[in-house]
Chain A
């Protein structure tokens, strides 16, 4: 009798915990703990708040509520894989790994399980080739897009030519940090600049040698592919040696409030590439306030709203839910499967007008994904930190990537992957 009651209780608990069949399940592999939590928390809050808004205001997407299944990874690859294994059976529509390391681990697994993986501005760059990576997406841009855009911007700042200039790349000594090297080397041949590479070992708390070297070599520009504490220390060291901060440009993972605030006034003028606007001066935030913050239903304490990474979380939630909407439209059903989700992602088309309808006019560039191109549009702008006002401001137009250099690299790398893994690229005609 006791066993029966226990079994009934356990079953009831499981039913209560598991999402209903008619829910749209979105797993979130967050990192609210560990050394990278200062970056993980605002992103996770932004992502959750937007999903909560849709549930509260619209009843979900297409009338179906969204269920967020949060799993804490602490930015640890092994934990990320555990999260994937635990959640894939719960009807997960798409996995957003929030880490390049986890993405690399999930690519073969998710391909077999036929669940889309969306590494939003990180992960394996050549996954942009949808002919090879059917289940992997990395829109709205890749690291190679970012590298070529930073070079284009530097060129504009140098009067249209980088001939004879010295550029130093300070990079996290990991697969992520090394991603832009090939692109920057190819661009160096094309534009005639000298590229100097300086690696920083994880975690990057001590960078005296690296910045002494930069001080001796006096490059015209320093680019940074950093993460976590490496960013804060680099910005501080650059300020210490009085490197002109307007010529110090980071990738989009080296350009949040957390990266610049510890250096105080010294960080003034530092720049980073970004694909979306900072700040909360958009109509969407009024809706978030009414339906989420004021109802006491926000994921965080409200202090991160409008920060770069909070907005990136909101962006990620929007492109995810818009893909769900597209999948529902294509297949004519409200309850979709991971395969349908993939179709939605592959046919995603968020125009400037749609961004405005969503309450984010001018927030980012239009996005149009296709069977062949999973990394579009690759557009990005440059933002600059104002230490006095304590805010980032977009200081350039949106640039297109240098397709002439980037596309052959994507083609070569993805075809090498296809050959290693016996994948026959599909036709996207």
Chain B
């Protein structure tokens, strides 16, 4: 086979995997927007905070150590024990549930019936608060995240495919990062679990009812406040998964919060209200940007992925303003 064809296949495959990673972040946005109409600006910071908490618990770091040391003149850093990954993940999830409760109690409760832009502004404030709070709680150091997921190229695949190219050509086999394969499997499991939860549980049906019509849901006795706590807790769980996957790639650090920028074109393309949309949108963006960089990038100086993702999303918006899978907004006079 022609190496160009094989290289293109490799780019498409890696683009699909990268798209799944973007979808993981986009899912959190969709969940909250669907249930409450809020575009949660803090979703990226939630991923950062969840990952910081996970590493902090894993390594037995003393929270607020810097603050405690500054006030009391102590030299605290670590408790001296380490938590197994699974316990640390459960602990982080508990922290994210507490976070959801606090957000509802101290922010959302006071903003019921406000304009969406007010709620959006509140999440901007929340994002900045969380950034500072996470920094104060766990420190600004870059931390290595290791929950036992394998990482690096699949050499089995490389060996199997190395002979596919025509003889004499420079082809070294196909490359796939094992971590991306894991991320794909976890994302699929997450989407299946979320779908089953929303279709077959009482709470899931209540969530869908709230998503369809707040007023109608309230009139049949569904507690909007309880639903918001549940939705933010689920979004917190999704943020934790995204934080683990991205944190394993780039270390747990402040820049993790910027992964939200990669989710925006996915949302624009897939729609803000559709879980399948987030997945399909992620795949299209992932493949699109990687193929463009591979085919056109070298001719125009490279580094095309950031802007091309938005261009692609805008192109789709021209034909489908609500995104590929988003609900069509019809307002009657």
Question: B-contacting residues of A (Cβ < 8 Å)?
Answer: 32-35, 37-38, 41, 173, 197-201, 203, 205-206, 208-210, 212-213, 215-216, 218, 228-229, 232-233, 236, 239-242, 258, 261-262, 264, 266, 296, 301-303
**CB distance A236 to B153 under 8 Å?**
no
CB nearest to B297 among chain A residues: A209
A241 / chain B contacts, CB cutoff of 8 Å = 153, 175
CB nearest to A172 among chain B residues: B303
A203 interface neighbour in B7, B132, B258, Cβ under 8 Å: B258
B258 interface neighbour in A35, A173, A197, Cβ under 8 Å: A35
- Count how many pairs of residues, one from A and one from B, have CB atoms less than 8 Å apart in the complex: 116
A200 interface neighbour in B152, B246, B303, Cβ under 8 Å: B303
**Chain B nearest Cβ from A176, distance in angstroms:** 14
**CB distance B144 to A262 under 8 Å?**
yes
**Chain B nearest Cβ from A318, distance in angstroms:** 25
A236 / chain B contacts, CB cutoff of 8 Å = 151, 249-250
CB nearest to A39 among chain B residues: B142
How many angstroms between the C-alpha atoms of A394 and B253 in the bound complex? 27
CB nearest to B173 among chain A residues: A215
**CB distance B290 to A209 under 8 Å?**
yes
| A199-B175 contact, Cβ under 8 Å, with A232-B253, A236-B249, A301-B66 | no
**Chain A nearest Cβ from B168, distance in angstroms:** 16
Which 8 A/B pairs are nearest by Cβ-Cβ distance? A262-B251, A199-B303, A229-B255, A37-B140, A209-B293, A201-B303, A199-B302, A173-B303
B11 / chain A contacts, CB cutoff of 8 Å = 209, 212
**A-B contacts, 20 listed (Cβ < 8 Å):** A173-B302, A197-B301, A197-B302, A198-B302, A201-B303, A205-B255, A206-B305, A209-B11, A209-B289, A209-B305, A212-B14, A229-B251, A229-B253, A229-B255, A236-B250, A261-B144, A262-B144, A264-B146, A301-B75, A301-B77
B141 CB within 8 Å of chain A: yes
**CB distance B172 to A215 under 8 Å?**
yes
How many angstroms between the C-alpha atoms of A38 and B52 in the bound complex? 14
| A229-B250 contact, Cβ under 8 Å, with A197-B302, A266-B152 | yes
B259 interface neighbour in A200, A205, A210, A261, Cβ under 8 Å: A205
B294 CB within 8 Å of chain A: yes
A201 / chain B contacts, CB cutoff of 8 Å = 303, 305-307
B99 CB within 8 Å of chain A: no
**Chain A nearest Cβ from B6, distance in angstroms:** 10
**CB distance A208 to B14 under 8 Å?**
yes
How many angstroms between the C-alpha atoms of A412 and B248 in the bound complex? 45
**CB distance B303 to A34 under 8 Å?**
no
A215 / chain B contacts, CB cutoff of 8 Å = 172, 175
| A240-B246 contact, Cβ under 8 Å, with A206-B305, A262-B142, A262-B251 | no
How many angstroms between the C-alpha atoms of A127 and B131 in the bound complex? 37
B18 CB within 8 Å of chain A: yes
**CB distance A216 to B7 under 8 Å?**
yes
How many angstroms between the C-alpha atoms of A200 and B305 in the bound complex? 9
**Chain A nearest Cβ from B297, distance in angstroms:** 7
B146 / chain A contacts, CB cutoff of 8 Å = 264
How many angstroms between the C-alpha atoms of A198 and B303 in the bound complex? 8
B142 / chain A contacts, CB cutoff of 8 Å = 38, 232, 258, 261-262
Other A-B contacts than A206-B305, A213-B294, A258-B142, 13 sampled, CB-CB below 8 A, are A199-B302, A201-B303, A205-B255, A208-B177, A213-B298, A215-B175, A216-B172, A228-B255, A236-B249, A240-B151, A262-B142, A301-B65, A301-B77
B73 CB within 8 Å of chain A: yes
B254 interface neighbour in A34, A197, A208, A302, Cβ under 8 Å: A34
Which of the listed residues B14, B172, B175 has the most CB atoms from chain A within 10 Å of its own CB? B175
A228 / chain B contacts, CB cutoff of 8 Å = 255
How many angstroms between the C-alpha atoms of A218 and B18 in the bound complex? 23
| A233-B302 contact, Cβ under 8 Å, with A33-B140, A209-B293 | no
B153 / chain A contacts, CB cutoff of 8 Å = 240-242
How many angstroms between the C-alpha atoms of A201 and B250 in the bound complex? 15
B177 / chain A contacts, CB cutoff of 8 Å = 208, 240
How many angstroms between the C-alpha atoms of A205 and B257 in the bound complex? 11
How many angstroms between the C-alpha atoms of A241 and B141 in the bound complex? 26
B262 CB within 8 Å of chain A: yes
How many angstroms between the C-alpha atoms of A39 and B78 in the bound complex? 22
B250 / chain A contacts, CB cutoff of 8 Å = 205, 229, 232-233, 236, 262
Contact with A along B125-157 (1 / 0, CB 8 A): 000000010010000111111100001110000
How many angstroms between the C-alpha atoms of A394 and B77 in the bound complex? 30
How many angstroms between the C-alpha atoms of A216 and B14 in the bound complex? 14
B69 CB within 8 Å of chain A: yes
Which of the listed residues B172, B251, B258 has the most CB atoms from chain A within 10 Å of its own CB? B251
A208 interface neighbour in B18, B132, B152, B246, Cβ under 8 Å: B18
**CB distance B152 to A33 under 8 Å?**
no
A240 interface neighbour in B145, B152, B301, Cβ under 8 Å: B152
CB nearest to B252 among chain A residues: A262
| A32-B140 contact, Cβ under 8 Å, with A199-B303, A206-B262 | yes
A198 / chain B contacts, CB cutoff of 8 Å = 302
How many angstroms between the C-alpha atoms of A203 and B44 in the bound complex? 14
**CB distance A301 to B69 under 8 Å?**
yes
CB nearest to A205 among chain B residues: B250
How many angstroms between the C-alpha atoms of A275 and B267 in the bound complex? 46
How many angstroms between the C-alpha atoms of A35 and B249 in the bound complex? 16
CB nearest to B70 among chain A residues: A301
How many angstroms between the C-alpha atoms of A218 and B171 in the bound complex? 10
**CB distance B172 to A38 under 8 Å?**
no
**Chain A nearest Cβ from B206, distance in angstroms:** 36
**Chain A nearest Cβ from B28, distance in angstroms:** 17
**Chain A nearest Cβ from B167, distance in angstroms:** 18
**Chain B nearest Cβ from A276, distance in angstroms:** 22
A216 / chain B contacts, CB cutoff of 8 Å = 7, 172
How many angstroms between the C-alpha atoms of A407 and B181 in the bound complex? 50
**In the complex, which residues 158-187 of chain B have their Cβ closer than 8 Å to any Cβ of chain A?**
170, 172, 175, 177
CB nearest to A37 among chain B residues: B140
A218 / chain B contacts, CB cutoff of 8 Å = 170, 172
CB nearest to A209 among chain B residues: B293
**CB distance B253 to A38 under 8 Å?**
yes
Which of the listed residues B66, B153, B170, B302 has the most CB atoms from chain A within 10 Å of its own CB? B302
B297 / chain A contacts, CB cutoff of 8 Å = 209
| A35-B73 contact, Cβ under 8 Å, with A205-B259, A208-B290, A240-B151 | no
B143 / chain A contacts, CB cutoff of 8 Å = 262
CB nearest to A216 among chain B residues: B7
Contact with A along B260-277 (1 / 0, CB 8 A): 001000000000000000
How many angstroms between the C-alpha atoms of A121 and B151 in the bound complex? 35
CB nearest to B144 among chain A residues: A262
